[in-house]
Every structure is written in C-alpha cells, then in structure tokens.
Amino acid sequence: MHAAQEKEWIVIRGWGSLSGLGSTPAEIKASYATGRTTFTTLPHLGQGTPVSPLSASGETALQTLVQEEPVYSSLDRSVLMAILAARQAVAQAGWADSPDVPIGVNIGSSRGATGLFEQYHEEFLQNPGQRLSPSASPSTTLGNVASWVANDINASGPVLSHSVTCSTALQAFANGVAWLKAGMAKRFLVGGTEAPLTPFTLAQLKAIGIYTKFSAHENPCRPLNPEGHNTFTLGEGAAVFALERMTEKEMQALPQNQFFTVAAVGMGFERSPSKTGISSDGHHFQKALRDALKQAQLSPDQISYLILHAPGTRAGDAAELAAIRSVFGTELPNLYSNKSQIGHTLGASGGLSTAYFLDHLSHQPTSPSLLKNNFLSNSLHLNNAIISSAGFGGNASSLLIQKITI
C-alpha cells in the first residue's frame, strides 16, 4: 500500500512592492494607515493629467540599482521595479539561505517595456535610416521582465512572462500555483509590474473616454463613486510574491506559527460584449469568484475581505458590484480598494491589491480605503480574503488568501 501523501500548502513566504505609496514595508504601511493619496499632475498633450508616479524613495531606489548594476541602465523602468520588488520578496522569504533550491519566476505586465518601446519607435520615425540601439529589441520584449528578475536573484527554475491585461498579476499567481501543485517546482516568484506613465499609453486610455476629469488634488480616482463618474487614473508600480509548497513539518520549523496561504485562484472569462469586455452583470467576475470559493471549499459568508478591481469607471464598477451581489447575496463582505490612493496600475494592480491586504488590511480591517463597511464584528472570519482583478478582453481572476495557524 502507498503511504498517505502529507498535506501541503502554498505559502506566501514573502512579498515586496513599490508604488506611489513608497518602496519599503514601513513606508507603505504608514501610507495605508493614513489613507494619503499619491497623485500628481503630469503634462500631457497640453493638459495637466493626474497620475500616481513612483514615490521619491522609489525613484531613489531605481537610481541606486542602476548605479550598482550599470548593465541595468538599458532596462525599462518596469523591469527595474520588478527587480526591486523581487529582491524584497526573496529577502523576506529567507530563500538566500538555501540557494540550492531552484526558484521559478513568472512576472507579467500589461504594457511591458512601453517606455523604451515608445522612445525607440520615436527615434526610428525621426531618422529611419539611422541604426537603432542594439538594445532596442532585447529590452522591449515582454520576456525580459521575468528573465532579468531571474538573472538578478540567480534563479535556476522555469522563467515565464505573460500579459493578460489588468489580470496579469493574479494570473501569475495561477501559473505559479499550478507549477507548485503539480510538483514541478518547490518555489515560485510571481507578480506584475507596470510603468505606463508614457505619452502613448495615456493617450490610449484617454481615447476610451474613461479618464478622470478631476485634478490630482481632488481625489481623482474614486472607486464605486455614487455619482457614477468615470474616474480612471493611471499609476505605476510593481508587486512580487515568494510562493513555496510546504508541509506542516516544514512550516513548524520556521519561527512563526501563522502563515498566509493561497487557497485558490479562481478564473473567469466571458465573450467580450464591447471593446473593454464588460457585461452589465459582470459574468466573468461571477465565474472567478465562484471558482475561487469552490476550489477553497468555502461559502460566501466565510469571506471577510473583498479587495475589488474597481478602477473607478462607471461601467466597470457597476458590473463588479452586480457580480458581488449575485455571488454573496445581501450579506456582503467588507469592500476595499487601494486605487483611491494609487490609481490603476494595470497589470500590477492585482499584485498591489494583494500586498495591500498582506501589509495592511490583515492587521487593520477598519482601513481608510474601506469602501463599504457592511459588517465588522467579533464573529468575522478574519482569515479569508479575496482579491479580484479583470482586464480588457473579458477575463477576470479572484485570488483567495487564507491565514492559517500551525
């Protein structure tokens, strides 16, 4: 007879992020605690456009990184941000103590190295007969996001990049979990990065007609705003997570007794009814939420935190709220969003929402970013949270995180 297989969990051993809120855990936690916004005005086509750029400390960290590693000067800032976030995640996980264990990497981005791509394309249009920089091709491929992260942390496992619009970061979780559960990897770095504050990207999003009309000082991004305004506001950032497949015995060998685990990654898709792929009932959101609950074998009333995608657009927010009501009924979890502070970071947004829960909400559920305080009592299942994301094309993802005690 075969011995019973020992139960294993997918444990979030560490994470790292940087955005307008800061570049260190202490700075980010302080920003969330106060609820401060990070918006500033960027000149764009003769207009002052509100955006959420990287914090001053984040910019300094990028400059220091390039000074330490001159070869990194040819990389897009989306890649540099991913490297810094990955370093934080690996350090927090303590993986440097066992370098012989291979690490897989799956870091994605919606727009990729759009800053460099736009720069090189403009140079080409201005002088098509002049030879481009030899860095133009390798530094603008989507794959260089994950490969440079892997290079920086000396990873020796599989290296993957992908782009699934604004669901990118959470679908990196799905990929990493699949590799881990299949036994094809022991450790995986997953996440998303985005540096979209470029002229062409801003022009694209303005063309859709959803960009906020409010100034940087008027809380420009307003998820679930009752007035029904379109308040999409672009931001930049990165978030990376260190996932490890672990047994109870392995967890007991660590100094802590509480762990955040990935209980499920629900996926949803619907045939796009429009250019942005949003139906009024949010069917893709419904599918992703139900899929996550089914995988984790939990009922809706066991979820206390729901961190929304909610980009502050009239159609998108309404569709997500309709989906939530369809799945959870009248007893909704508490609804949160960090986009009122950092805007929409596209492919990094799901990752930054996850870091928001891990850094802040798990310790302080009465957050300034609480959108709807539906119930807060001692009977709350404070161990279960769902983070949702969705993207153009009809895709959605729901990450279910569970806090366990061993």
Residue 195 lies in a domain: yes
pLDDT per residue as tens digits for the range 376-397: 443 445 689 999 999 998 999 9
Q: Can you spell out the DSSP letters for 343-394? A: -B-GGGHHHHHHHHIIIIITT-SS-TTEEE-----TT--TTEEEEEEEETTT
Cβ distance 398 to 288 under 8 Å? yes
Q: End of a domain among 204, 226, 253?
A: 253
182 and 204 belong to one structural domain = yes
183 and 42 belong to one structural domain = yes
Q: End of a domain among 253, 276, 307?
A: 253
- pLDDT of 312 reads 97
Residue 170 lies in a domain: yes
pLDDT per residue as tens digits for the range 135-191: 999 999 989 999 999 999 999 999 999 999 999 999 999 999 999 999 999 999 999
- pLDDT of 2 reads 54
207 and 279 belong to one structural domain = no
pLDDT per residue as tens digits for the range 62-112: 999 999 999 999 999 999 999 999 999 999 999 998 989 999 999 999 999
pLDDT per residue as tens digits for the range 269-299: 998 767 776 899 999 999 999 999 999 999 9
pLDDT of residue 367 exceeding 80, the answer is no
Domain count, the chain: 2
- pLDDT of 1 reads 46
Give the domain extent around 78: 8-253
177 and 267 belong to one structural domain = no
Quote the mean pLDDT of the chain. Answer: 93
153 and 188 belong to one structural domain = yes
Residue 1 lies in a domain: no
Residue 340 lies in a domain: yes
Residue 3 lies in a domain: no
% of residues, the chain, pLDDT over 90? 85
Pairing of strands 305-307, 384-391: parallel
345 and 234 belong to one structural domain = no
206 and 281 belong to one structural domain = no
Q: End of a domain among 234, 253, 272?
A: 253
CATH of the domain at 361: 3.40.47.10
Distance CA 178, CA 325 (A): 29
- pLDDT of 373 reads 56
